[in-house]
Amino acid sequence: MNDLETIANATTAAQRRSFTEAMASGVRPEHALKVAGLGQNPKLALILMQFPEIQEGLRLAAEATLYADALPAAVNVLVKALRTRRTDIKLRADIALKVIAIAGFVPPKAGEASDPDAKPLAQRSRDELLDLAHAAKRELSERATKVVDSTVTRQSGAQPSAKHLDLLR
């Protein structure tokens, strides 16, 4: 451990908090050190910025700025451009999609296309209907899970015997 790391580890929580707040306000690292009462050595600033509590403080400060200032301003710019008739229609359409996405609206997806060769049930023969029924039964049995019924009566003193039930998933 070198001297700067020793100094960094000896800083108080108040000094680290002061350094973090100064950095979050946008001042240069050397000035943030001075504000925190730690001198002006840029290498010390780099060491301090590796502390998890300082990284987390800077991340939270940046996130707060984004949510409190930048995001509302960006949304206002989008809405203003959307409402301005002089804005190109293609750009307005793109902006509209972005505003809708920001609002959290998820448009419904188109349903899967049905098989164009599939006949309605009323037009199928008896054998075709039986084949469908067997296919459905096979699918259901593949999804079945064995479950042990542990509710066998113990009051009679008899040893419980496991019953297996087929239950659908």
Ranges in the chain, pLDDT < 70: 1, 107, 109-117, 145-169
Sign of CA dihedral 22, 23, 25, 26: positive
168 located within any domain: no
d(CA 64, CA 32): 19
The whole-model pTM stands at 0.50
Tens-place pLDDT, residues 61-72: 999 988 898 888
Average pLDDT, the chain: 80
Q: Are residues 8 and 40 in the same domain?
A: yes
- Of 61, 57, 30, 23, which Cα lies nearest the Cα of 45? 30
pLDDT tens-place string over residues 23-40: 999 999 999 999 999 988
Taking the C-alpha atoms of residue 73 and residue 66, their distance in angstroms, rounded to an integer, is: 10
Provide the number of structural domains found in the chain: 2
For the chain, the distance separating the N- and C-terminal CA atoms, rounded to the nearest angstrom, is 59
Residues 43 and 74 reside in one and the same domain: no
Which residue range(s) make up the domain with 30? 1-50
Residues 44 and 85 in one domain: no
- Residue 71 forms part of a structural domain: yes
Does residue 74 sit in the same domain as residue 46?
no
Quick one: 1 and 45 in the same domain? yes
**21: nearest Cα among 10, 33, 7:** 33
